[in-house]
Chains A and B, each alone.
Chain A
Amino acid sequence: MKSALTWEIIAKCSTTKARVGKLILPHGPVDTPVFMPVGTQGTLKGITPKQLEELGCQIMLNNTYHLGLRPGQELLEQIGGSHNFQNWSRNLLTDSGGFQMVSLLKLAKITEQGVEFQSPHDNESTMLLTPEHSMSLQNSIGADIIMQLDDVVSSLTTGKRVEEAMYRSIRWLDRCINAHRKPDSQNLFAIIQGGLDINLRKKCIEEMILRDTPGYAIGGLSGGEEKDIFWRIVTLCTDLLPKNKPIYCMGIGYTEDLVVCSALGVDMYDCVFPTRTARFGNALTPKGSLNLKSVKFSKDFQPIEKDCDCVACKSYTRSYIHLQATKETVGCHLITLHNVAYQLRLMRNIRQAIIEGRFPSFVKQTFKDLFGSEEKYPVWAINALKSVNIDLLS
């Protein structure tokens, strides 16, 4: 199908499946592997678009379900989309809205037509999100990358339902492609389903490759499955998906997950974790998270992270942020700014290490900094990295 992006691989790791790419989207370039912060309601938790741009963020996520409710499709059409509404001149990605419905609304029911759910307005009437409706909404929002509506099942579900969801997701992809009004300016990504079943995943990929979408997402994971199964599904997908298209793994944001998945060949990630955890006073660092609410930081006069050039680290000590953390909005904004800076720097460091041919040693150092001693390394990460020729324990 039509594509509104170009995608060029700039460097490949000679040991693992990691790669650095340049993705050119309608609102500018995106260097991959990329972490996309989540601005659910058309704003990233207290951060201005200017601040986000200064942090070097090239693409942000908005949630279709939330924007559909507020400010609503009509208003978004009127103002010419979410970029204009929030004054964000760089790239946006929207989800289909389906996942949010299934996870936020208890009584959602999935039929061949779409996702049926109780109206959040009156809790009485039922509403229906179809692939066509999701496309229409996402076309009005106008994000640079949009996602197909997929049939979401929990990754813990087994049996017939997983197979049904996989085949239905393929049928819904076809309906999304048909309903997509703006293929010249918005890139529709397919979402690979099939649960934890290797054969179903293979079948899904086979079918979806035939649809030739501009990019692919690995769906149906991060739902509480064993991490050792999670990485095996990810690596299966990156093996089978076309090498000339970006691959997006949804809902990934922890440091170790980002490093491992990049080694497995994933290019794009999103997660609410860095911004959500900031609201509870947690600042991310290469040595793990610091809970700045804790009194042990009350007389700690170093910055959150020594070499970080974010506003929080350039301006304040941990002691001062401790005073503000979880008590004033400024404390929250400062930690959010730092955490976004941390995530973007981590991705920059991953890319740099791949380009300079030292990705394996970078991965080892990252684990050493993060977990301290080898006994604390998660087994799944050791196994996953071993599959791409990095021995964390050597």
Chain B
Amino acid sequence: MSGFSFNLLKITDPSRFRLGQLIFSRNKQEKILDTPNCFVYTMRGSVPHLTPDNLQIIPVDSLGITLEHFLEAQPPTSTHFMGGIHKFLNLEDYLLFFDVRDSSKLLHISFNTDKYVSVVTNQGCRKVTVEEYVRYMNIYNPDIFASISDLITDKNPSLKRVKKSVDRTLNWLDETLEQIKEGIHVFGVVTGHDKHEERVRSAQETANRNVAGFVLNGFDLDVTSKERLDLMKISLKHLPKNKPRVAYGLGAPEYVLLGIFEGIDIFDASYPSEQTSLGHALTFLLLENGIQNEQEKFIDLWDNKYRTDFRPILNGCKCYACQNHTRAYIFHLLVAHEMLATVLLMSHNLFHYLQFFKDIRKSINNNTFTNNAMQFIRASNITDEIDIKPNFNYRNY
């Protein structure tokens, strides 16, 4: 595998949002992941509720795969399959990004040591060493993976604990870069928890190494999305511009927009899956020069008012669910505890979430992003919580 690069097509200053292209090869063909974008969330290597035929009709380019989901058996049975992880998961046309732990639910577990990290499976806790992780990656051959990191799951860690976490994560990154086969690309994980100086150190040291990109994992921080973003900002300042940045924990649309303002390129897409499990159908839109107040971000299809609503979830949506089914039918499926409910909701929510990113890219390209995104954020109930002006100098843009 060759031909991996990240090209920045547009970068703004003093705001830091960017338009880019992650170029990779799949099946001897060059493919492009346009950024800002997201790695679609999977459970055990499948998008929740969607069989491959249903996934195929959604314009997905890349998926995030979690090793933790395969670790009930150790080594995972999939490492005995010799055709690579793309083939094993029937995802040969997609960019696959691996990480050790599930970005959507970082369960508190027993401690990590200098040698291994602990992960959670359906059958209890498992330990993974760097050697094991890199060996699995060498067998799997994903396009990209995040190096193993010492995530802190206890609350209010001491400075000493955070320092140790940064040191361990950097040591493990060095080991990983030594052992990994050529052609598999490593993203370094930037840590430092809630300690300002450690975040700076982690960012600078990671940037000094030969990584293809960066991961900012906000899930180990037991804080609000806003505080999470503030901590990420500290790290982002010390990362080079020419490499892609992935952030976990900023899934809601307003936080995606805020993250993009800070220069995040790729998000974890657990948000559409979480909304699906609540019976929610996403309806938010990044409107072009529109007034966005009072916008309904989602509709709750458990609500009895949809019982006789024979409209699609969202007028004009081109997804399978909206082209074929009504709110009333999905309401019925939810109330009747029928599994087709989540199939249709996931089809719509994922399609819609990807469309949102498409609209964002279009808007950056048209130089209307600052205005459109600010309107969206203002209309969100986080406006009070966030002091947007000092950070986003959109007037000069």
Complex interface: chain B residues within 8 A of A328 (CB):
43-44, 46, 48
* One of A49, A79, A312, A332 near B324 (C-beta < 8 A): A49
Q: Tell me whether B122 and A299 are in contact (CB under 8 A).
A: no
Q: Tell me whether A317 and B88 are in contact (CB under 8 A).
A: yes
A51–B336 Cα distance when bound, in Å, is 21
For the complex formed, measure the closest distance between the CB of B331 and the CB atoms of chain A, giving whole angstroms: 8
* One of B44, B310, B336 near A324 (C-beta < 8 A): B44
Q: Tell me whether B324 and A50 are in contact (CB under 8 A).
A: yes
Q: Tell me whether A41 and B51 are in contact (CB under 8 A).
A: no
For the complex formed, measure the closest distance between the CB of A327 and the CB atoms of chain B, giving whole angstroms: 7
B196 interface contact, C-beta 8 A: no
Complex interface: chain A residues within 8 A of B43 (CB):
328, 330
Complex interface: chain A residues within 8 A of B328 (CB):
71, 75, 79, 85
The interface stretch among B77-85, B156-164, B246-254 is B77-85
Complex interface: chain B residues within 8 A of A42 (CB):
329, 332
For the complex formed, measure the closest distance between the CB of A31 and the CB atoms of chain B, giving whole angstroms: 24
Q: Tell me whether A311 and B70 are in contact (CB under 8 A).
A: no
A125 interface contact, C-beta 8 A: no
Complex interface: chain A residues within 8 A of B335 (CB):
70
B307 interface contact, C-beta 8 A: yes
For the complex formed, measure the closest distance between the CB of B96 and the CB atoms of chain A, giving whole angstroms: 14
B53 interface contact, C-beta 8 A: yes
Q: Mark A320-353, 1 if CB is under 8 A from B, else 0.
A: 1011100111101110010000000000000000
Q: Tell me whether A329 and B49 are in contact (CB under 8 A).
A: yes
A46 interface contact, C-beta 8 A: yes
Q: Tell me whether A320 and B88 are in contact (CB under 8 A).
A: yes
Q: Tell me whether B81 and A323 are in contact (CB under 8 A).
A: no
Residue of A nearest to B53 (CB): A311
Q: Tell me whether B45 and A46 are in contact (CB under 8 A).
A: no
A298 interface contact, C-beta 8 A: yes
* One of B51, B70, B320 near A323 (C-beta < 8 A): B70
Residue of A nearest to B82 (CB): A301
* B28-80 CB contacts (< 8 Å) to partner A: 43-54, 70, 73, 77-78, 80
B118 interface contact, C-beta 8 A: no
B11 interface contact, C-beta 8 A: no
For the complex formed, measure the closest distance between the CB of B148 and the CB atoms of chain A, giving whole angstroms: 22
Q: Tell me whether B339 and A45 are in contact (CB under 8 A).
A: yes
A330–B70 Cα distance when bound, in Å, is 15
B340 interface contact, C-beta 8 A: yes
B12 interface contact, C-beta 8 A: no
B333 interface contact, C-beta 8 A: yes
A332–B339 Cα distance when bound, in Å, is 10
Complex interface: chain A residues within 8 A of B325 (CB):
87
Complex interface: chain A residues within 8 A of B46 (CB):
324, 328, 330
Q: Tell me whether A50 and B333 are in contact (CB under 8 A).
A: no
Complex interface: chain B residues within 8 A of A70 (CB):
332, 335-336
For the complex formed, measure the closest distance between the CB of A274 and the CB atoms of chain B, giving whole angstroms: 15
A379 interface contact, C-beta 8 A: no
Q: Tell me whether A48 and B45 are in contact (CB under 8 A).
A: no
Complex interface: chain A residues within 8 A of B50 (CB):
330
Complex interface: chain A residues within 8 A of B329 (CB):
42, 85-87
B338 interface contact, C-beta 8 A: yes
* A44-58 CB contacts (< 8 Å) to partner B: 44-51, 54
Q: Tell me whether B52 and A329 are in contact (CB under 8 A).
A: no
Residue of A nearest to B336 (CB): A41
Q: Tell me whether B53 and A75 are in contact (CB under 8 A).
A: no
Among A54, A317, A337, residue most surrounded by chain B Cβ atoms (within 10 Å) = A317
Q: Tell me whether B51 and A330 are in contact (CB under 8 A).
A: yes
A4–B239 Cα distance when bound, in Å, is 72
Q: Tell me whether A327 and B44 are in contact (CB under 8 A).
A: yes
Residue of A nearest to B87 (CB): A317
For the complex formed, measure the closest distance between the CB of A326 and the CB atoms of chain B, giving whole angstroms: 11
* One of B54, B77, B307, B343 near A319 (C-beta < 8 A): B77
A78 interface contact, C-beta 8 A: yes
Q: Tell me whether B48 and A330 are in contact (CB under 8 A).
A: yes
Q: Tell me whether A333 and B339 are in contact (CB under 8 A).
A: yes
Q: Tell me whether A327 and B307 are in contact (CB under 8 A).
A: no
A329–B335 Cα distance when bound, in Å, is 17
Complex interface: chain B residues within 8 A of A79 (CB):
310, 328
B342 interface contact, C-beta 8 A: yes
Residues of chain A having any CB pair with chain B under 8 Å: 41-51, 54, 66, 70-71, 75, 78-79, 85-87, 298-299, 301, 311-312, 315-317, 319-320, 322-324, 327-330, 332-334, 337
> 9 interchain pairs (CB within 8 A)?
A41-B332, A50-B324, A51-B53, A75-B328, A298-B77, A316-B90, A317-B88, A328-B48, A330-B47
Q: Which 9 A-B pairs have the closest CB atoms?
A: A46-B339, A315-B90, A330-B46, A298-B77, A41-B336, A43-B340, A315-B52, A71-B332, A43-B338
